[in-house]
Structure 1
Amino acid sequence: MLRWSPSREVVMAAVGEWTGVEARALRQASRRSVRDFAADLGVAVRTITNWERLGAGTRPRPDTQAILDTALGRLDAAGVLRFEALLSRSRGPAVAAVRGGPRVWEYETWTEDIERAVTAASHQDFTAASDFLERWRTRWPPQDLDDRGLYLFARTTALAGDLLRDRGVLLGPRSAARSYADARSLFEQLGIPRRVAQLDLSLAVVTEMSGDLRGAAARYAELSRDNRLSDRDRLRAQLWVGTALDKQGLHDTAMPLMASAINGFEAVNEQEDWGTAHQKLALAHRGAGNLGEAARLIGVAESAGGSTSPMQQVRLATARGHVLLSDRATVQEGLAVLDKAAATAATYGMSHQLRSIDGIRKNVELGGRAAKFR
């Protein structure tokens, strides 16, 4: 989360002229009694009670306005957030945003909604996650936001891309690729190279999922050496080079890259990625015909723990089903595993996973038909 303290000028822009409404909000935000607040301002207790009783119908004298300005300027960041929230509730929805953009307290609510969206997305509750994000993406145009607002807008847009990717909406004007490109442009404008590189990685994933395996492998290879990324992200890029090569049938080339990524994830203590890498390596061994080793690696991936999200459950079950279907003795067991994975994917709207499962089934059916004619 970004740490940000509002300046006195920004706070004053939200206040305008002091009335009894603003004075009451300031007293409550500073957590003072009427008597203490009056003593701090150097006015009579009756003056404070009159302000609060008359509300917007009273205007403190010009010299008292200046005293209130000073008292507001002494609030800490938490006090300012309380003041903004109290003022917004007192005035209602007609309160104007600072310079057309968010008020101070809205930044905090926006940040909290991003965190809620991340949690919802981790459980594949795409509807809730999207609701948390879209309420902010449509509220202000980017040109009305300061740097903090642009950062939150970019994070929101990138997360919206993740939701679209997991739903299988990859290309087009309202797609994962478009959201990632828009977020990347904003982070580039803000001068945050690590976020830019992370969006480059996300765009490479879309390239792979869209079927351009050679292009994705080349981009992953570049990013695996990109110092803008963290160690973990570079290792993920290396793993995904192997994944893209494996999908092209280059199993023997892919396996050493995946094994190296596994060692790297162990070194940086990334348990979930370590398990996922074993799953990917299992599929490479399946492609190479090493079914015993593939089954062993799937077992390692299943025992690794880590994420219990529906998405990861579906991916792991799909990999196990794929391995089981490669052995005639376990075809029926493999189909049952895929049926269960497909049911979970359908429940959570995982369109891309459903297409993957359907493709595996079709390949099995084609293989069975070919065997009948041999």
Structure 2
Amino acid sequence: MTTVHHWTGLEARALRGALRLSVRAFAEHLGVGVRTVSKWERLLANTEPRPDTQAILDTALARADAAAHLRFETNLSEAGRCGDRLRRRLAVSGPRDWEYESWTDDLDRVAVALSRQNFSFADSLLHRWLARFKPLELDDKGLYLWARSTAHLGDLRRDRGAVIGPLSAQHSYVEARSAFDQLHIPRRVAQLDLSLAVVTEMSGNLEIAAHHYQTLSADDRLSRRDRARSRLWVGTALSKDGSHDCAARVMLAATHEFEDLSEPDDWSVAHQKLALAHRGSGDLDSALHYIDVARRTGFNDTPMQRVRVDTAHAHILLSDPATREDGLRVLDDAARLAAEVGLSHQLRSIESIRLTAEGAPGPRRR
């Protein structure tokens, strides 16, 4: 709960803005005259409410909800009263509990937004907090929320195709990993290692990525599900590197584990990747079987999931001259959806598949 030791017109105006009230409505809310509020607005820090009005303002702030508290402090910061002067005026009991509660709620909303590729909304929520706090200013609870936010920012940048560089998924993941390491949370550190391995794969370093995945598949810091996902991604890296038969064996083992874990979404994704491995080895009948399983059983209710499964399906169809036209149609649909929601990495993959299809007929069924 935020309190103000001594009110001036500046804090009063910040509270009015936080409550989103007009001058007249704010005066009525406090039970004071409109001229009094207008004086606060005009003189700001050069005027001070009377002692009885100070108490009224204390009560109005105490009764405000968490979102209004956040707006109140933000208004003061934007008015140039942050730093030492703001800290002298604001006394916060505990580790800013009301702010941390709002931050936690926003992170839940970010996770939902990212799952549906609502990147703009997720980005605005994340930067609301990351622009507000620096890691060195935070206690352990705040640093934990900062690290989670930074990891989500990495996910957002990865899905948008910003894989390496100063404003990339890799940069965000490294920062988040450092914070979790400082907090001594090994499970989160290992999860960031897994995310960094994905970035390594996406940037084309397949042999290094496969090695990292293999190491993480036996890392007891990770959950059984994450270890199974590591094994699946070992297969993905092997398949991209041309070792399709070996990749299929590794992926099949991961598929069985997802079935044991009752993880239908991961199980479906594994079938999609199995389909591509069989396509790479020239076994188009098996490839069509596995992609059909993925299309029938997966939760393809988000743009990312639909683009991925349609791209895989198109890749298989394009491998057979008899289904090439169908493949181009499916690929065009996937490209339109990827462009619509800003999936840059998927768009690049789609364009690569299209160029390959134009340059070679591909394998026939065996």
TM range (shorter): 0.7 to 0.9
User: Any residues of structure 2 matched to 1:39-188 within 5 Å, and which?
Assistant: 57-58=50-51, 93-94=75-76, 96=86, 103-188=96-181
CA distance in structure 1 between the partners assigned to 2:195 and 2:145 by the alignment? 18
CA distance in structure 1 between the partners assigned to 2:235 and 2:206 by the alignment? 11
CA distance in structure 1 between the partners assigned to 2:319 and 2:99 by the alignment? 54
CA distance in structure 2 between the partners assigned to 1:336 and 1:84 by the alignment? 50
Gaps of 5+ in 1: 1-10, 22-50, 61-71, 73-79, 370-374
Counterpart contact for 1:99–1:144, Cα < 8 Å: no
The partner residue of 1:211 within 204, 209, 225 is: 204
Q: Tell me the amino acid that sits aligned with residue 178 of structure 2.
A: S
The partner residue of 2:188 within 195, 201, 216 is: 195
Query: What are the superposed Cα offsets for residues 278-317 of structure 1, whole Å, 9 maximum, x if unpaired?
Result: 0000100111111011101011001113241100100000
Counterpart contact for 2:190–2:221, Cα < 8 Å: yes
Say whether 1:286 aligns with 2:279. Answer: yes
Query: What are the superposed Cα offsets for residues 175-215 of structure 1, whole Å, 9 maximum, x if unpaired?
Result: 00000000000000111111100000000000000000000
Q: Percent identity?
A: 52
Q: Residues 59 and 85 from structure 1, CA distance in 2 versus in 1: closer, same or farther, beyond 3 angstroms?
A: farther
Counterpart contact for 1:165–1:206, Cα < 8 Å: yes
Counterpart contact for 2:321–2:361, Cα < 8 Å: no
Q: How far off is 1:349 after superposition?
A: 0.7
Secondary structure of residue in 1 paired with 2:76 = coil
CA distance in structure 2 between the partners assigned to 1:81 and 1:271 by the alignment? 46
Structure number with bigger Rg: 1
Q: How far off is 1:225 after superposition?
A: 0.4
Equivalent pairs, count: 316
Q: How far off is 1:117 after superposition?
A: 1.4
CA distance in structure 2 between the partners assigned to 1:295 and 1:257 by the alignment? 19
Q: Residues 189 and 59 from structure 1, CA distance in 2 versus in 1: closer, same or farther, beyond 3 angstroms?
A: farther
Q: Tell me the amino acid that sits aligned with residue 359 of structure 1.
A: S
Counterpart contact for 1:242–1:257, Cα < 8 Å: yes
User: Any residues of structure 2 matched to 1:268-307 within 5 Å, and which?
Assistant: 268-307=261-300
Secondary structure of residue in 1 paired with 2:298 = coil
Aligned residues: CA RMSD? 3.3
CA distance in structure 1 between the partners assigned to 2:72 and 2:154 by the alignment? 37
Q: Tell me the amino acid that sits aligned with residue 244 of structure 1.
A: A
The partner residue of 1:345 within 295, 319, 338 is: 338
TM-score normalised by the chain length of structure 1 = 0.76
Gaps of 5+ in 2: 12-29, 34-47, 54-58, 78-85
Counterpart contact for 2:180–2:186, Cα < 8 Å: yes
Q: Residues 16 and 366 from structure 1, CA distance in 2 versus in 1: closer, same or farther, beyond 3 angstroms?
A: same
Match of 1:8 in 2: none
Match of 2:303 in 1: 310
Q: How far off is 1:323 after superposition?
A: 0.5
The partner residue of 1:261 within 245, 254, 267 is: 254
CA distance in structure 2 between the partners assigned to 1:91 and 1:351 by the alignment? 37
Match of 1:251 in 2: 244
Counterpart contact for 2:95–2:139, Cα < 8 Å: no
Say whether 1:232 aligns with 2:205. Answer: no
Counterpart contact for 2:210–2:238, Cα < 8 Å: yes
TM-score normalised by the chain length of structure 2 = 0.78
CA distance in structure 1 between the partners assigned to 2:72 and 2:118 by the alignment? 35
CA distance in structure 1 between the partners assigned to 2:226 and 2:306 by the alignment? 22
Q: Residues 348 and 145 from structure 1, CA distance in 2 versus in 1: closer, same or farther, beyond 3 angstroms?
A: same
Say whether 1:332 aligns with 2:319. Answer: no
Q: Residues 81 and 317 from structure 1, CA distance in 2 versus in 1: closer, same or farther, beyond 3 angstroms?
A: farther
Q: How far off is 1:152 after superposition?
A: 0.8
Secondary structure of residue in 1 paired with 2:106 = helix
